Structure 1
Amino acid sequence: MIQPKVYRKQRGLLFLFIALSVIVAFISFGLGDASVSYNRILPTIMGEGTFKEEFVLFSLRLPRIIVTFLSGIALALSGAILQTVTRNDLAEPGIIGINSGAGVAVALFFLFAPIEPGSFVYLLPLAAFGGALVTSLLIYFFAYRRKEGLHTVRLILVGVGFSMALSGLMVVIMTSARREKVDFIANWLAGNIWGTDWPFILALLPWLIVLIPYAFYKANTLNLLNVSDPVATGVGVPLEKERAILLLAAVALAASAVSVSGGIAFIGLMAPHLAKALIGPRHQLFLPLALVLGGGLLLLADTVGRNLVDPDGIPAGIMSALIGAPYFMYLLIKKV
C-alpha cells in the first residue's frame, strides 16, 4: 500500500515539473528569428494579437512546442517500459537500435514511397513502426536463448551492434539520394525537430492516446516484472506474452516519436531514472513524473539548441546527447 504522504510528494513534484515545462514553453514562444514580445504572448493567445503575432505563435511556435513535448513523453514512456521489461537500467530505444531501425524505414519511405503529400504525414509513423518492429524482432531473436530466456546484457550488446550496422546502412542509402533529400535525412539523424506543423500532432496523438493508458493499466504487471521472474510467475503473470506485448508498445511509442522528431536518444534513458530517483520504482508513482520530465527535457533541449548558435542552431538530438551521454557513462560505470 502506498502511503498518502508519498502521493502528496508525487503530486507536488508533478505540479512542479508541469510548471517548469510551461515556463520553458513560454520562453520558447518569445525566442527565435520571428519572435513575439513576451508581453504580447497572452493577449495573442486570447485572440487580441496582430496577424504576424498570431502567425508566429500558432503556425510556427505552438505546433513545434507541442510536437516536441509529445515526442519527449513517448520516448520517456518507451524507455521506462524497456528498462522494466529487460530489467536493465541502460535500456533505451536510441541505445538498443530501435530508433535506428525506425530511421532506416523513414529514409526508405521518404525516398521511394509513391505517396501523396497529404497522406505522407499520417503514414510516416506506420513506416517508422514497421522498421522499428523488424529491428526489435531481430534484436530479440539474437538476444534470446531457449534455456536462459531473454538475457538483458546480451540484449543491450546486440542492440548496440544493430544500431551501428543500421547507421552504416543509412549512410549507404544517403549516397544514392538527391541532395535535398540527403539534407532531410541528415537533419533527421541529428535529431532536428522537423515535424513542426499541426498535421504532425494529429499523426502522433493517436499512438499516445492508446498506449499511455495501456501502460498505466499494466503498471502492476510492470512492477512484478521489475522484481523477478519467479515472483511474476508465482502470481500468474505469463512472462513471455507480457514481455512481447509490452516490448511492442515500447517500439510503437519510440517509432511514433522519432518519425516526427528525428533520431532523439537518451531522453528515454534519463527521464525514467530521474523520476525513480525522486519518487521510487513503483510504476504508478514514477510514470507520470517520467512522462512530464521527458517532454520537458526534450523541450528544453530544443529551445536551448535552437537559439544557441546562428543561423540554424543545434539539433535537439545533439543537445540531449550532450547531457545524456555522460549520464549513460555514469550508469554504465555504476552497473559494472
Structure 2
Amino acid sequence: MTASTHPVRRLIRILLIGAALIAVTAAIGMGIGRSSVSFDRLLPTLFGQGTFKEHFVVFSLRMPRVAITLLAGMALALSGSILQSVTRNELADPGVIGINSGAGIGVALFFLYSPIDVGSFVYMLPLVAFLSAVITAILIYAFSYSRSRGLDPIRLVLVGVGFSLALSGMMIVLISSTDRQKVDFIAKWLAGNIWGTDWPFVWALLPWLVLLIPFTLFKSVRLNLLGLSDSSAIGVGLRLERERIVLLLAAVASAAAAVSVTGGIAFIGLMAPHIAKALVGPRNQFFIPVAVLLGGWLLLLADTIGRNLVDPAGLPAGIIVSLIGVPYFAYLLLRK
C-alpha cells in the first residue's frame, strides 16, 4: 500500500507547490506595473475594500491579463504533453512543429478580411484558429505518415518545422499587403505578445480548457499505451489510428485556443511536460496535471518579467520564453 500511495502523495505535494507558485506570481503580477497597487492593499481590493483606482487596476487591467496568461500557458502545456505522448517524441511542441503557425495564419486572415462584428469577434477566434490548425495538422500528419512504418516521430518534427517556416513566410507576405495598423497587430502576434487582455478573452478560452483537461486525463491510460510500440499497443486492443487522431485533435484544439489570444508562443509545450516527467515520472495521469500547472506558471512568470523589464511597453512574453526555450530545445536535440 505504501508503494502505491507514495507517487500519489508526491503528486499532490507537487500540485500544491505549483498552485502556490501560481498564486504568488499572480499576486506580484497584479501588484507591480505602471499603475502599481501596494501588496498590503491587494487583498482588501480583491475583497471589495479598495479605492476606485485600485479596483480598476486590479479587476480591469491586471486580473484578466493574469487569467489569460495562466490559461494560455496551461493550454500550451496540455497540447505539448499530448503531442509528446502520441508521437513518442520528446521534441514535439505545438510551436515547434507548426501547429501554432497554422492557427496564427487563420487568426491573421480572419482579423484582416472578416466582416464579423466586433461583439462576436473574440468568441469566433478560438474556433477559427482551431479550424486553421486542424488543416495544418492534417497536412503535417499526411507528410509524416507512411503505410509501411506508420507515423515517423522524427519525420513529424522535421515536417512540422518545415511547415512552421513556410507559414511564417506566408505571414510576412500578409504583412506586406495590408495597412499599418493591422501590421502592428500581426507583428505583436508573431512576437508572442499577450494581446487579448480583457474578460471576454478569458470567457472565450476557458470553456476549451474545461472540456479538454478532463478529456485528456480520461484518455491518459490510452496515452500510456500509445507510448509503447505500435505492435504492443495493437496487441492490447487499442484502435491505434483512431486514438491517435482523436488525441491529436485535442492537442490542436488546446494549442489553437491559446494561440488565438496570446500569439505565437513556442516552447511552453516543450518544457512543461519535460519538467513534469522529471518530477513525477512518465505516466500520463501523473505528469499531465503537473505539466498543465507548470505551463500556466511559466507563461505567467514570463509575462510578468517581460511586462516590467523594459519601459514603456515591456518585452513580449514569447521573447522571454524563447530565451529559455531555444537553449533547452538545442540541449534536447543534442542529447537525442
TM-score > 0.5, shorter chain as reference: yes
C-alpha separation in 1, matches of 2:181 and 2:165: 24
Q: Deviations over 1:184-226 (max 9, x none)?
A: 0000110000111000011001111111111000010001111
C-alpha separation in 1, matches of 2:295 and 2:86: 19
Instruction: Give the aligned residue type for 1:182.
Output: V
Counterpart of 1:155?
156
Counterpart of 2:169?
168
Tell me how many residue pairs correspond in the alignment: 335
C-alpha separation in 1, matches of 2:225 and 2:130: 27
Instruction: Give the aligned residue type for 2:135.
Output: V
C-alpha separation in 1, matches of 2:314 and 2:226: 42
Deviation at 1:316, TM superposition (A): 0.4
Counterpart of 2:277?
276
Which aligned pairs between 1:233-244 and structure 2 lie closer than 5 A? 233-244=234-245
Match of 1:227, SS state, is coil
Counterpart of 2:195?
194
C-alpha separation in 1, matches of 2:103 and 2:285: 29
C-alpha separation in 2, matches of 1:144 and 1:284: 27
C-alpha separation in 1, matches of 2:4 and 2:268: 29
Match of 2:227, SS state, is helix
Deviation at 1:227, TM superposition (A): 2.0
Identity %: 64
Which aligned pairs between 1:1-336 and structure 2 lie closer than 5 A? 3-335=4-336
Which contiguous aligned blocks of 4+ residues in structure 1 show a shift greater than 4 angstroms?
A: none
C-alpha separation in 2, matches of 1:205 and 1:257: 10
Instruction: Give the aligned residue type for 2:278.
Output: A
Aligned Cα root-mean-square deviation (Å)? 0.9
Instruction: Give the aligned residue type for 1:82.
Output: L
Match of 2:238, SS state, is coil
Ranges in structure 1 where 5+ consecutive residues have no aligned partner: none
TM-score by length of structure 1 reads 0.98
Instruction: Give the aligned residue type for 1:195.
Output: G
Match of 1:3, SS state, is helix
Instruction: Give the aligned residue type for 1:72.
Output: G
TM-score by length of structure 2 reads 0.98
C-alpha separation in 1, matches of 2:155 and 2:286: 29
Deviation at 1:298, TM superposition (A): 0.3
Ranges in structure 2 where 5+ consecutive residues have no aligned partner: none
Match of 2:192, SS state, is coil
